[in-house]
Amino acid sequence: MIRAPQVSARHAEIRHLGGEWFEVVDLGSSNGTWVNGQRVQSARVRATDQVRLGPVPFNLAALGHLVGGSADLAPGVPPPPQQVPAGPIVGRIGPYEAMRQIGEGGMGAVFLGRDGRSGRPVAIKVLHPQFRRDPHVVERFEAEARIQAALDHRNIVKVLDLVSAADTTAMVLEYVAGESLEGMALRAQPLPLARVGRLFDQVLAAMAYAHARGLVHRDLKPSNILVEPAAEGEQARVLDFGVAKILGSQKARTATGARMGTIAYMSPEHLRSPKDVDPRSDIYSLGVVLYELLTGRVPFDAGSEYELMRRIIDEPPDLGALPASVPAGLRALVGRALEKAAERRFQSCDEMRAALRAALPASYFSMAAGVALPAPPPFAVPAASQPDSGQTLHISASDLEPTPPPSATPPLARIVVATVAWLLLMLFLYAASSGR
């Protein structure tokens, strides 16, 4: 127990998860629980992270000795499989139990939850009540779930289910224990070059996969990229395809075709005509993200939206702001990704990823950096089914994924079969000739 006037009697709960990992959960304190300078409701932390209960520092390394000694805090040990702790349930959504709110966006709030059938931890994104009466917003929200459920890549957060009833619309996603690139960049500006290269390579792999399936994200930014600890190294996970455009679709994601996304990360063509974006617009946004990770700031800022849009459309980025430690090849990569004209940028994320790997030492990359995937078969996002009033709608990811092509007989197997057939034929002919 910590006795200090600035610390509440029941301020926070700290659980040792195994290895070097702890979970810190604020218990409704008045002056907050802080991790690395940011106030949190809950967070997964290492012994090296800076934790404060109000203004009072808390030494996690000392706590490690209490729960198993310093040998238990070996660096590089991944967290154990996640278990949702027992606690009050703030609401039930279909078979899912919402435990506590862990985030909020423009369209809804995100809760840490649990699948009541399996006990599996999940993230539940619930549409704000004021939007549930607007059929266009509900359609866009459900379209986001269907789009993201159809994507199956290690570097993309998976949608597991969509629950739609008379009074609730919610999307159920994988629960990713980690922090966003935005949070990482705020703690360490700029991030180490090796870490930037490794994580950005994974993001490019994820977006190459999405683009090959006819999807443009349209809202790529550091807060939409999570970083998850894993046994093979950190994994970048792209999320929030809520403003994604389906290439070739004539149906807009909103009734008005209004500009969607975050202005500082938008391409010039996105600002001019939101309906005309293609994968190269995402490449521009990724250029902004990379610039920010390397410098600690976005390439363009201004006091008003109009001035910011004018600068993005008219002014060149200041590549001189990149640190001297950034290699010439990576500097050129950033400049090309931020070209005003889409035809002067990288034409695909695969091309940009190849340039990234050519610009940085091979030691920066590993199998944890994502895997190049073959081009998928043509894919169309299925239409939503219409439930009866009050019915709960469940959309399984397996129902939304494209059907894989039938497997062909491996070439080696064909060779073996042909060889055996030839030998049998020779034996038959030999036997026939011997009989004569």
pLDDT reported for residue 201? 97
Q: Identify the top-confidence range among 13-17, 32-36, 136-140, 312-316.
A: 312-316
What is d(CA 190, CA 210) in angstroms, rounded to the nearest whole number? 28
Same domain, 64 and 189: no
Same domain, 358 and 211: yes
pLDDT reported for residue 69? 33
Closest of 91, 81, 141 to residue 116, by C-alpha: 91
What is d(CA 54, CA 30) in angstroms, rounded to the nearest whole number? 8
* pTM, entire model: 0.64
Q: Tell me, yes or no, whether 58 lies in a domain.
A: yes
Same domain, 62 and 206: no
pLDDT reported for residue 412? 57
What is d(CA 366, CA 290) in angstroms, rounded to the nearest whole number? 19
Beta-strand runs (E) in 176-331: 179-180, 215-216, 225-228, 235-238, 245-246
What is d(CA 165, CA 335) in angstroms, rounded to the nearest whole number? 48
pLDDT reported for residue 40? 76
pLDDT reported for residue 376? 36
pLDDT reported for residue 153? 94
Q: Tell me, yes or no, whether 89 lies in a domain.
A: no
* Helical ranges in 315-394 per DSSP H: 328-337, 349-359
What is the average pLDDT across 377-400?
Answer: 34
- Number of structural domains found in the chain: 2
What is d(CA 119, CA 210) in angstroms, rounded to the nearest whole number? 30
Domain boundary (342, 369, 396) is at: 369
Same domain, 220 and 351: yes
pLDDT reported for residue 32? 82
Catalytic residue among 115, 219, 240, 282: 219
Residues 206, 153: contact at Cβ < 8 Å? yes
Same domain, 189 and 53: no
DSSP state of 132: T
- Kindly list the distances between the CA atom of residue 63 and the CA atoms of 14, 15, 22, 38, in Å, as whole numbers in the listed order: 9, 10, 10, 21
Q: Tell me, yes or no, whether 332 lies in a domain.
A: yes
Same domain, 207 and 346: yes
Strands 169-174 and 159-164: antiparallel
Task: Give the least confident one: 253-267, 401-415, 420-434.
Answer: 401-415
pLDDT reported for residue 315? 96
Give per-residue pLDDT as tens, 204-214: 999 999 999 88
Q: Tell me, yes or no, whether 78 lies in a domain.
A: no
Q: Tell me, yes or no, whether 412 lies in a domain.
A: no
In order, the DSSP letters of 146-205 are HHHHT---TTBPPEEEEEE-SS-EEEEEEPP-SEEHHHHHHHSSSPPHHHHHHHHHHHHH
What is the average pLDDT across 294-317?
Answer: 94
Burial of 394 (0-12, 13-18, 19+ CB in 10 A): middle
User: Regarding predicted confidence, which is higher, 166 or 220?
Assistant: 220
Q: Tell me, yes or no, whether 223 lies in a domain.
A: yes
Same domain, 57 and 195: no
User: Regarding predicted confidence, which is higher, 3 or 215?
Assistant: 215
Q: Tell me, yes or no, whether 232 lies in a domain.
A: yes
Confidence of residue 192 (pLDDT cuts 50, 70, 90): confident
Domain boundary (307, 336, 369) is at: 369
Q: Tell me, yes or no, whether 417 lies in a domain.
A: no
Domain boundary (341, 369, 397) is at: 369
In one-letter notation, the amino acid at residue 277 is V
pLDDT reported for residue 432? 64
Confidence of residue 28 (pLDDT cuts 50, 70, 90): confident
The domain of 193 spans 179-369
Q: What is the CATH number of the domain that holds 41?
A: 2.60.200.20
Q: Based on the residue annotation, tell me whether 219 is a catalytic residue of this protein.
A: yes
Give per-residue pLDDT as tens, 327-375: 999 999 999 999 999 999 999 999 999 999 999 999 888 644 444 333 3
Q: pLDDT above 90 covers what percent of the chain?
A: 33
Confidence of residue 18 (pLDDT cuts 50, 70, 90): low
